Homo-oligomer: A and B are copies of this chain.
Amino acid sequence: MKKLVVQKFGGSSVANIDRIKEVAKRVVSYKKHHQDVVTVVSALGDTTNELEELAFSISKTPPDREMDMLMSTGEQISCALLAMAVKKLGHDAISFTGGQVGIKTDKSHTKAKIIKIDAKRIKKAIKERKIVIVAGFQGITDDLEITTLGRGGSDLTAVALAKALDADVCEIYTDVKGIYTTDPRVEKKAKKISKITYEEMLEMAALGAQVMQSRSIEVAKKYNIPMHVRSSFSKEEGTMIIKDNEKMESVSVRGVTCNKSEAKVTICNVEDKPGVAAKIFTEISKSGVNVDTIVQNVSHTRRTDISFTVPIVELAKARKTIKILSKKIKMDNVLSDKDIARISIVGSGMRSHKGIAAKMFQALADNKVNIDMITTSEISVSCIINRKLADKAVRVLHKEFNLERIK
């Protein structure tokens, strides 16, 4: 059987005509290696922003349906251009919109969910030896309404097509060489990870690694589709995201992530009785603020402090909600601190290795990094620390867990 590769090129990979021509060459190289290719493309470089600007200059709240109508043209343009570029190289190619290729979604405009893919047409084109190029990020409803899939939508298109076509691999071409043990801009010794599990990748994405959106990884995990994150500017292999398996080297920690976009809120001297925390977080959540780490210490009096983190952009909203709450619930002053960072270690090996968290805390302590709050999951440990010490902490932990030697 011939190998079938579904691949996705992001906006920076098709930023201009020269890059589109480069992508065309790369796509054609698969055919030369006797592989079938389905290529999903994002909109050209800045197109998405330009279209958004047009819309917002008409209305601050453009209707979602019309936004989808508008935004979906970005990917339609890039897929037509890439098809032209591939044909120019003498290979047969055909471009498809999400609708043409049978990507059926629900009706939630701007954040639609894929319901099913009717892959008949795409399979026919593959059989005819065509290089198939698909507009990412978009689908169609049963009423022929054009929908878009929201952030990370093109990755999702690629993974969903890989599933529908039973592809051997789903490649995500991007502007970095793969997933790194930590941000190479912070730690020069950061190493590209050759293999990582879906779970680790999801955890890293949730904790601040910005290469991949969680949504497509979740789908890949669900259907066990191997993903290959790699650079469109290099022939080098990138990072394989796969199911946990025994062949993978057993390491306790596979990466260090850092998130600097949160703020900490502390409500001082709240009454320590059942239902108070519930009331507070119900109200905050109702106001649309995403609360993350929550810490409430055991108290020996009848009052306690409650701390939690929120995205910095939602801090004002959170404080406003608490101010209203303070009329119903007894509390003293409310403190907030924007000067924090969340530093995390991630690795599925933690399940079987003991003492990883302790090792992390000790390493931070040895380097005079004070820990403010701690949370853990099955495969990660996170500490909230002073933001000024974040980069240092990344380097300390990267060294402590030997990540420069990871494979």
A residues in contact (CB < 8 Å) with B: 17, 20-21, 51, 54-55, 57-59, 62-63, 65-67, 69-70, 72-73, 76-77, 79-81, 83-85, 87-88, 94-95, 97, 99-100, 144-146
**CB-based closest 4 A-B pairs:** A69-B80, A70-B80, A73-B73, A59-B88
- In angstroms, Cα B44 to Cα A58, docked, is 14
Nearest-CB residue, chain B, relative to A51: B77
Please pick, from B57, B69, B87, B97, the residue contacting A83 in the complex, using a CB distance under 8 A.
B69
Chain B residues within an 8 Å CB radius of A79: 69
Identical copies in the complex: 2
Is the Cβ of A17 less than 8 Å from the Cβ of B57? Answer: yes
Closest chain-B Cβ to A89's Cβ sits at a distance in Å of 10
| Contacting pair B58 A85 (CB below 8 A) | yes
Partner of A95, one of B66, B81, B83, B100: B66
Whole-angstrom CA separation of A263 from B146 in the bound complex? 49
18 residue pairs from A and B, CB less than 8 Å apart: A21-B58, A55-B84, A58-B81, A59-B85, A59-B88, A62-B87, A63-B83, A63-B87, A66-B80, A66-B83, A66-B87, A67-B80, A70-B76, A70-B77, A70-B84, A73-B76, A73-B77, A100-B145
B59 touches A87 (CB 8 A): yes
Chain B residues with CB below 8 A from A55, complex form: 80-81, 84
- CB <8 Å contact, A69 and B59: no
Q: Which residues of B contact A145 (CB under 8 A)?
A: 100
* Interface pair B62/A84, CB less than 8 Å apart: yes
Bound Cα distance A94, B88 (Å): 38
Which B residues are in CB contact (< 8 Å) with A51? 77
Q: Which residues of B contact A83 (CB under 8 A)?
A: 63, 66, 69
Assess whether A144 is in contact with B80, with CB atoms less than 8 Å apart. no
Q: A85-B59, A88-B59 are in contact. Are A69 and B54 (CB under 8 A)?
A: no
6 extra A-B contacts, CB within 8 A, seeds A55-B81, A69-B97, A100-B146: A20-B58, A54-B77, A55-B80, A70-B77, A73-B77, A100-B144
* Residues of chain B contacted by A70 (CB below 8 angstroms): 76-77, 80-81, 84
Name the distance in Å between A51's Cβ and chain B's nearest Cβ. 7
Residue from the list B66, B84, B146 in contact with A59, Cβ < 8 A: B84
Nearest CB of B to A271, in Å: 48
Specify which chain B residues have a CB less than 8 angstroms from the CB of A94 in the assembled complex: 65
**A54–B17 touching, CB < 8 Å:** yes
Instruction: A21 to B100: give the CA distance in the assembly, Å.
Output: 32
Which B residues lie within 8 Å of A62 (CB)? 84, 87
Q: Which residue of B lies closest to A79 (CB)?
A: B69
Enumerate chain B residues within 8 angstroms of A95, measured Cβ to Cβ.
66, 69
Q: Which residue of B lies closest to A54 (CB)?
A: B81
A77 / chain B contacts, CB cutoff of 8 Å: 51, 54, 70, 73
